[in-house]
Amino acid sequence: MQRTRRIGMLLGMMAILPLAGCGEENLPLVSTNQAISPTSTDMAHARQLIAEYGCVACHTVPGVKGPATMVGPPLEKLALRGYIGGVLPNTADNLVRWLLDPPAIDPKTAMPDMGLSNEDARDIAAYLLGLD
């Protein structure tokens, strides 16, 4: 019985999968984040910014100490994700846009505008996209 159910679920997923990209032409499925390549000094500065802005209050961020939290998604391997916030194709520029003002991109997001400067957003984006 379970095997039949699993096969049915698999077939259903296979039928739906081709429709997953409908209406979203030219959107990358994987990240193209070569635009930002941080140095080790930048990485240390970005970790400091992440701590100062309180990102770890909602997200677990590798390399940055903070509470065990489950408010927002963990941010490891962010560069491998297809989308940022579930709405933007994952590129370095889009991550900077998201960090600068998430509610402007998705009014229903729980992530607030943290008041980041352009430079701070770029540094944090470089760090997040450089995580393994």
All domains of the chain in start order, with CATH? 27-129 (2.60.40.420)
Predicted confidence at residue 115, as pLDDT, reads: 96
pLDDT above 80: residue 127: yes
The fraction of the chain above a pLDDT of 70, given in percent, is 69
Q: What is the pLDDT of residue 38?
A: 54
SS3 of 15-54: the string is: HHHHHCCCCCCCCCCCCECCCCCCCHHHHHHHHHHHHHCC
Share the mean pLDDT of the chain.
79
Q: What is the pLDDT of residue 69?
A: 87
Q: Is 123 left (phi over 0), alpha (psi -120 to 50) or beta?
A: alpha
| CA–CA dist 30, 52 (Å, integer) | 30
Mean pLDDT over 83-112 rounds to: 96
pLDDT in tens, 11-45: 444 444 344 444 444 444 344 444 455 555 588 99
pLDDT for residue 5 is more than 80: no
* Predicted pLDDT at 41: 55
